[in-house]
Amino acid sequence: MKKQIVIIGGGFAGITLARDLTNTATFHITLVDKNNYNFFPPLLYQVATGFLEVSSISYPFRKLFHGKKNIHFRLAELQKIVPEENKVILSTGELSYDYLVLATGTESNFFGMENIRKNALPMKTVDDAIELRNALLQTAENATITTDSAERRKLGTIVIAGGGPTGVEIAGMLAEMRMNIMEKDYPELAGNKLRIILADGAPVLLTPMSEQSQKYTYDVLVKMGVEIKLGAQVKDYVDDTVIFAEGESIQSRLLVWTAGVTSRVFDGVPEESYGRGRRLLVDEYNKVQGTQNIYAIGDTCLQATDIKFPQGHPQLAQPAIQQGKNLARNFKAMQNGKPLTVFSYYDKGSMAIIGRNKAVAEIPKPRMKFKGWFAWAMWLFVHLFSLISYRNRIITMYNWTAAYFTKDQSLRMIIRPGVKARFNKSD
């Protein structure tokens, strides 16, 4: 009898696990995801700013699994886990499992601030990126027709909350758009310079990186005209007013939220199985504590058994990919009666792009730091070859090449698809 493995979530961790178990005769794998496509989160900000189209960073699961006879895809959302019966209840039915793997990643954390949850624009999904692109373009259109100077200033002010890689990359991209694109697209706004504010509650940008990289990033963004507010925590967003904890407020129609993430809680998993940030506590083999055959990999898990990372691994692509590969090896080992491999994360480094020919990159072993053009080229190479298919790589390379030489792109379209209820019915 084949072992039934159900994987919830088709991000870096889930898709790596599924692909590494391809054509393994002793397993039947079902990948469950609420979207019918895999997407590449590090490039969402380029979709949001109109430099890449959705199809450049996305690929359908069913096409990805062509010819892989032991892998099936189910479009559904997880509603409940029933551990005592080894089954999951989905929005489209039920599935039984021998092993359940939770690889759902994270979602935006609004820290209980309801106004920000309702009114800010997060950056976690393809839908978020499209919504942000629409909002950026629509506010620019509105600014061209308003005769109220105060309203125009509000429309021309963008606040980005969160000084991590996503916040830095959005700020840098918007600064380049302001420099090279805005006045050509919107001649009515000549003389009304877009105001870009990057705020973070920490005293530095890119907190996990070195002081050298932090300073370089800060200096480059300031030179590009980005206003940076450090030690400034956004606490509310009411009536187009961004309110900071220290009392300052800024009028803005757009608050982009990249300030934090949290994992989700699963109905059916014991409360004591959760740790910091609602991440599932797992052992050295990624099995969820307090369960028999439920595993968690990627951003949704907290693994404190790795002596190099006693506080858990960073919520990045590489830990998710490496955990997916290790769990695939262990599933095969279990079937063959061989010893399991303890997970140990190999840190390949971190990087962030700031703008054209400007980036920072750090490699821990050997300890090396890069900035400027070389780091920018490294960033392009790593992200290009991390895309899931050759098609994605070719399209993205074409778009990047065109954008580099023209300092422009032609993807700035406001698209608001109407979804009819009858297409969402599961029956």
Q: 260, 289, 324: which is the final residue of a domain?
A: 260
In a domain, 141, yes or no: yes
Tens digits of residue pLDDT in 382-401: 999 999 998 999 999 999 99
Judge whether residue 116 has pLDDT over 60.
Answer: yes
More confident residue, 421 or 34: 34
In a domain, 41, yes or no: no
Tens digits of residue pLDDT in 317-336: 999 999 999 999 999 999 99
Q: 351: which 2 tokens?
A: 């990087």
> What confidence category does residue 427 fall into, taking pLDDT thresholds of 50, 70 and 90?
very low
Judge whether residue 154 has pLDDT over 90.
Answer: yes
Tell me the three state secondary structure of residue 159: strand
Q: Same domain for 140 and 216? A: yes
Mean pLDDT of 206-220: 96
Q: Domains in the chain: how many in total?
A: 2
Query: Which 8-state DSSP code applies to residue 112?
Result: T
Q: 232, 260, 288: which is the final residue of a domain?
A: 260
Q: The domain spanning residue 323 has which CATH number?
A: 3.50.50.60
Q: 336, 366, 395: which is the final residue of a domain?
A: 336
Q: Same domain for 253 and 144? A: yes
Judge whether residue 425 has pLDDT over 80.
Answer: no
Mean pLDDT of 85-102: 97
Q: Which residues is 6 bridged to in the sheet?
A: 30, 100
| Residues contacting 251, CB < 8 A, separation 6+ | 150, 153, 154, 157, 240, 241, 242
What is the rounded distance in angstroms from the CA atom of residue 134 to the CA atom of residue 122?
Answer: 13
pLDDT number for residue 192: 85
pLDDT number for residue 426: 47
Q: Same domain for 164 and 121? A: yes
Domain that holds residue 332: 3-34+76-106+263-336
Record the pTM: 0.92
Sign of the Cα torsion 338, 339, 340, 341 reads negative
Q: Same domain for 134 and 226? A: yes
Residue 198 contacts residue 229 (beta carbons within 8 Å): yes
Query: Other C-beta atoms within 10 Å of 115: how many?
Result: 16
Q: The domain spanning residue 239 has which CATH number?
A: 3.50.50.100
Q: Same domain for 153 and 282? A: no
pLDDT number for residue 424: 53
What is the rounded distance in angstroms from the CA atom of residue 133 to the CA atom of residue 45?
Answer: 9
Average pLDDT taken over every residue of the chain: 93
Q: Same domain for 196 and 213? A: yes
Q: Same domain for 268 and 307? A: yes
